[in-house]
Structure 1
Amino acid sequence: MDLAQILLAAQPHVPAHYRPGIGIIGSGGIVRGAHLPAYQKYGLNVIGIYDIQPAATQAAQAQWSTLRIFETLDELLDNPDIEVVDIATHPAQRVELIQRALAAGKHVLSQKPFAPDLSTARMLVTEAEQRGLLLAVNQNGRWSPAWRVATLLLQQQAIGSLLAVTHLFETSFAWRPGSPFDLIPHSTTYDYAIHWIDIIRCWLEDYQLSNVRAQEYRTPNQPLESKSDWGMSAEFSYQHGVRAFIHCIGGTETSRQGHPFWLHGTQGTIRGCALGNDFIELERDGVFSRFDLKGSWFPDGFAGAMGELLSAIAEQREPYNSARHNLLTLEMTLAACQSEDADGQPVAFEEVPA
């Protein structure tokens, strides 16, 4: 596959002749700022939306004039025109909403993480499979342009075998105090870094994870009223010395925020940046190939996640972002949180509570 073919393959895909009705549960900032723009851009069939706060749904309707506002959850779930439900609420409500949507016979795309623990996650996976329905997770970062190109390059062995994956966050969580995210335990890891944990899970799919160690900390410039730690670091150790690292500096003061990453292999290096100052380049045999990326994580990554679910429904297969595939991401995330609770002590992977 040449550079042009890789860029084409990296674009979000939606099935050409399948546009099922989509109902959205939740109408927060992420829905109005990413879900709806993505679905509009790619011509998806959004029927309507439900949220417990009427003002939120009215704001969504202002963006999408034909969007129907459902007065109750049952009204949305009972609508025969809706085949797929997009659950975009905070974590505490997701499990019940997934179960109700499945009971109503709907395929589901759930915001991440889709369950608070592994036993609940496995229960949801089993329930969906027994009902013959697809349950996918909105790990939209898998379709962020730079990460998607990196995934395709790895699949072609462009840099040989992986030696290490390294991620750095140059970002600020100054927006978090006073928001619901500030109240989520291990918010930086569990709600934010889970995207980076997930892409590590994808890139190191064929490697055996041995243990996880992680720490979280308050940055020196973090205000006293901020409850969740802004800084974190995590190391995922695989067999034969392969490592993956995440280092988050959550209090940066820079106008060039971004999330640079490096993939070092036995035959070359991939370096890039996602979610700010996006780029990606491949270095091999002293030759540098830089990709002219199309689109951005917000909103195109969100179209990628929903598009993959729709494609899987149309093709009667498991989606790449299925809840079953996402079990390992959740397990790795919970292991990191467990290590943080133990002040960075390594957690052997088989010891993660199920």
Structure 2
Amino acid sequence: MTSLRQSWGVPSRPRPIVIIGAGGIVRTAHLPVYQRLEFPVAGVYDIKPDASLETARRFGVPTVFRSMSEAAAWPDAVFDVAVPGDQIAGVLQQLPRGSAVLIQKPMGENLAAAQSIAHICRDRGLVAAMNFQLRFSPNVLALQDLVDTRQLGEIVDVDVRLVVKQPWHLWAFLERAPRLEILYHSIHYLDTIRALVGEPRGVYCRAVPHPSIPEFQDTRSSIILDYGNRVRCSLLLNHTHQQNTEHTASFLKVEGTLGAAQVTMGVNIDYPNGPPDTLEVALGRARWQNIELRGSWFIEAFEGPMSNLQRFVAGEDEALVSPVEDALKTMALVEACYQSSDAGGTPVPEV
């Protein structure tokens, strides 16, 4: 097995980062990674001043902006927009034309909103990427390398399985979200599968809430992606497992004609401090081999999206990994999932 890629190159001269939104994901992942990589963070803005002040104090951010216009005025900035999906469009409209911007998923709350966001980006000439950071997780980068170099052969089977207890209550805004589990979490797996296997022809889906948390919408789903007769692809996603961790699961497995690989996402087992991610590979009839990893989804994956964006605007990367136009295809797939779920299954004939 050849040496597998597990990291993304960093920009040689990173530009200052202005963060819009000071919520949990910024404090848990974005700022710790930027500190580790020594990326300059110019300042932070949040509609809740206390959140901005506490985040700045905790991470030594030098400036707390008093308004969105003040934040947008920072010269030569790369903007990190980490706000709920229904607030993205309003933020983008206030950024200077031609700005570089990294946008936290999802790309709005539905496909229509995503198309509007894409239109704003085109109209304002924004160099915009979506923060689909699972693509940059060390084990997923290695898996993508295996697929791209055809060490697994032709991909014929893809499985994602989650049996976990997601702490939805950590994100209060999700209580009012009309769409939840697929849009705000499992979108990562749909996006990663697109990167690994390509575009599906269609989708079968059923997404349901759980009676123990009626304040939230869909928290469980079963999804089949239709790739024709050559690839079987399924996602079984239960975020409301009530028991201990003895029978939890959090993995993505890919099988090909020459081998197979399985990655685990430890953060789902005990958010945000779950066990380390893993990658196991079996080529031909050889035994499964555990590949040593340099890190996990949380937090090493968050190095990649900002590094790729900064390198692209500096001319050091040829392309963005997750430009908004590509993210639009992931949002279309999410939309198809919800449409399929709303339509219901094929009725069983009466006998």
Provide the TM-score with structure 1 as the length reference: 0.88
Give the distance between the partners of 2:201 and 2:53, measured in 1 at CA. 48
Instruction: State how 1:29-68 maps to structure 2 within 5 Å.
Output: 29-68=24-63
1:150-205, CA deviations, whole angstroms, 9 ceiling, x for partnerless residues?
Answer: 11110111111111110011211344388211321220011111001100111112
CA distance 1:178–1:328, change in 2 (3 Å): closer
Q: Per the alignment, in what secondary structure is the counterpart of residue 329 of structure 2?
A: helix
Contact in 2 for aligned 1:273/1:279 (Cα 8 Å): yes
Equivalent position of 1:227 in the other structure: 216
Equivalent position of 1:247 in the other structure: 236
Query: Is 1:147 equivalent to 2:140 in the alignment?
Result: yes
Give the distance between the partners of 2:306 and 2:195, measured in 1 at CA. 18
Query: Is 1:91 equivalent to 2:47 in the alignment?
Result: no
Give the distance between the partners of 1:242 and 1:298, measured in 2 at CA. 29
Contact in 2 for aligned 1:77/1:104 (Cα 8 Å): no
Q: Per the alignment, in what secondary structure is the counterpart of residue 10 of structure 1?
A: coil
Letter in 2 for 1:212: V
Deviation at 1:127, TM superposition (A): 4.6
Query: Is 1:237 equivalent to 2:231 in the alignment?
Result: no
Gaps of 5+ in 2: 268-274, 347-351
Equivalent position of 1:280 in the other structure: 279
Contact in 2 for aligned 1:177/1:227 (Cα 8 Å): no
Root-mean-square deviation (CA), in Å?
A: 2.1
Q: Per the alignment, in what secondary structure is the counterpart of residue 254 of structure 2?
A: strand
Give the distance between the partners of 1:171 and 1:194, measured in 2 at CA. 16
1:278-330, CA deviations, whole angstroms, 9 ceiling, x for partnerless residues?
Answer: 21111112223321011121121111111111111111743111111212111
Deviates further, 294-303 or 255-264: 255-264
Gaps of 5+ in 1: 346-354
CA distance 1:225–1:337, change in 2 (3 Å): closer
Deviation at 1:89, TM superposition (A): 0.5
Instruction: State how 1:287-306 maps to structure 2 within 5 Å.
Output: 287=286, 288-306=288-306
Deviation at 1:340, TM superposition (A): 1.5
Give the distance between the partners of 1:97 and 1:174, measured in 2 at CA. 27
Give the distance between the partners of 2:217 and 2:125, measured in 1 at CA. 39
Q: Per the alignment, in what secondary structure is the counterpart of residue 297 of structure 1?
A: coil
Q: Per the alignment, in what secondary structure is the counterpart of residue 60 of structure 2?
A: coil
Give the distance between the partners of 2:289 and 2:171, measured in 1 at CA. 44
CA distance 1:291–1:237, change in 2 (3 Å): same
Contact in 2 for aligned 1:258/1:275 (Cα 8 Å): no
Contact in 1 for aligned 2:92/2:120 (Cα 8 Å): no
Letter in 2 for 1:271: Q
Structure 2 counterpart of 1:14, from 7, 10, 16 = 10
Give the distance between the partners of 1:151 and 1:241, measured in 2 at CA. 19
Deviation at 1:217, TM superposition (A): 2.1
Equivalent position of 1:191 in the other structure: 184
Percent identity between matched residues is 26
Q: Per the alignment, in what secondary structure is the counterpart of residue 201 of structure 2?
A: strand
Deviation at 1:239, TM superposition (A): 2.5
Letter in 2 for 1:337: Y
Equivalent position of 1:342 in the other structure: 343
Equivalent position of 2:166 in the other structure: 173
Equivalent position of 2:127 in the other structure: 134
Give the distance between the partners of 1:177 and 1:146, measured in 2 at CA. 26
Give the distance between the partners of 1:35 and 1:232, measured in 2 at CA. 28
Deviates further, 267-276 or 303-312: 267-276
Number of matched residues?
334
Q: Per the alignment, in what secondary structure is the counterpart of residue 54 of structure 2?
A: helix
Structure 2 counterpart of 1:263, from 254, 262, 285 = 254
